């Protein structure tokens, strides 16, 4: 009788060990499949959408020529506001990204401390960035961009300045990957705008006719932004 009890106990022990061993591979497999899923997203290209905003400084080179032959140069440009959105793709392993951007900049031109007119610029550019230390959550980047821009004045004068042409520039910044999908960044951008000098008609507060010569040489901006991957 005791022999039968011992045999039954051994069978129960063996059955319990077999059950534990059968569960162990399933647990290890479940843990192993989660990590590759995350890694596979890093190893593949990912699309993203982002928005940016901040302050910009337009490189206006304007002067006013009066009817008596006198000339007054515009004051140094003030900092205006700008907004932008980006849509593009992160490269595999987050080594870089390529994206299209639309930027809208606006600033006020002053002569002798008085507001004269606003200048606004709309940029359509393609950018490419390279990330340093892509395996870190916080990583610096540098890049280049090129595209096409439109610039025009906004005022109550009957005439206005407008110009358009090919633009190019550089950018640098610091990105912070908050989650696998969400990232924040801060950066600086400078866009060179090789426009020609153009003349257009304006007038003083007293109604005197003035010929304004305008040229927009470039736009520099500092920004903060957020990106979402999908």
What was the pLDDT predicted at 41?
58
In this prediction, residue 34 carries a pLDDT of 45
- pTM more than 0.95: no
Residue 196 is predicted with a pLDDT of: 81
pLDDT reported for residue 148 = 96
* pLDDT score of 55: 95
pLDDT at 150: 93
Fold category of 46-229 in CATH: Porin (2.40.160)
Where along the chain do its domains lie?
1-43, 46-229
Q: Which residues of the chain have pLDDT under 50?
A: 1-35, 37-38
Please tell me the predicted confidence (pLDDT) of residue 14.
42
DSSP secondary structure of the chain: -HHHHHHHHHHHHHHHHHHHHHHHHHHHHHHHHHHHHHHHHHHS-EEEEEEEEEEEEEEE--EEEETTS-EEEPPPPPEEEEEEEEEEEEPGGGSEEEEEEEEEEEEEEEETTEEEEEEEEEEEEEEEEEESSTTSSEEEEEEEEEEEEEEEEESSSSS--EEEEEEEEEEEEEEEE-SSSEEEEEEEEEEE--PPPEEEEEE-TT--EEEEEE-EEEEEEEEEEEEEE-
Tens of pLDDT along 87-137? 999 999 999 999 999 999 999 999 888 899 999 999 999 999 999 988 899
């Amino acid at each position: 009788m005791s022999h039968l009890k011992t045999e039954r106990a051994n069978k129960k022990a063996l059955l319990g060990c077999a059950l534990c061993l059968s569960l162990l591979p399933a647990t290890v497999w479940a843990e192993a499949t989660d990590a590759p899923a995350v890694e596979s997203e890093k190893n593949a290209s990912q699309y993203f959408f982002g928005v940016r905003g901040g302050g910009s400084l337009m490189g206006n080179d304007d002067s006013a020529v009066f009817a008596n032959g006198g000339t007054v140069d515009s004051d140094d440009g003030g900092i205006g506001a700008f907004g932008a959105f980006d849509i593009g793709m992160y490269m595999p392993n987050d080594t870089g990204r390529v994206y299209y951007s639309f930027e809208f900049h606006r600033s006020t031109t002053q002569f002798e401390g008085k507001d004269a007119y606003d200048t606004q610029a709309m940029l359509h550019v393609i950018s490419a960035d390279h990330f340093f230390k892509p395996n870190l959550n916080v990583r610096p980047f540098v890049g280049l961009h090129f595209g096409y821009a439109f610039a025009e004045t906004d005022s109550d004068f009957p005439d206005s300045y407008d110009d358009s042409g090919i633009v190019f520039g550089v950018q640098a910044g610091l990105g912070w990957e908050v989650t696998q999908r969400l990232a924040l960044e801060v950066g600086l951008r400078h866009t060179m705008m090789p426009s020609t000098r153009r003349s257009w008609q304006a007038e003083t507060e007293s109604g005197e006719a003035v010929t304004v010569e305008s040229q927009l040489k470039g736009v520099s901006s500092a920004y903060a932004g957020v990106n979402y991957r999908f």
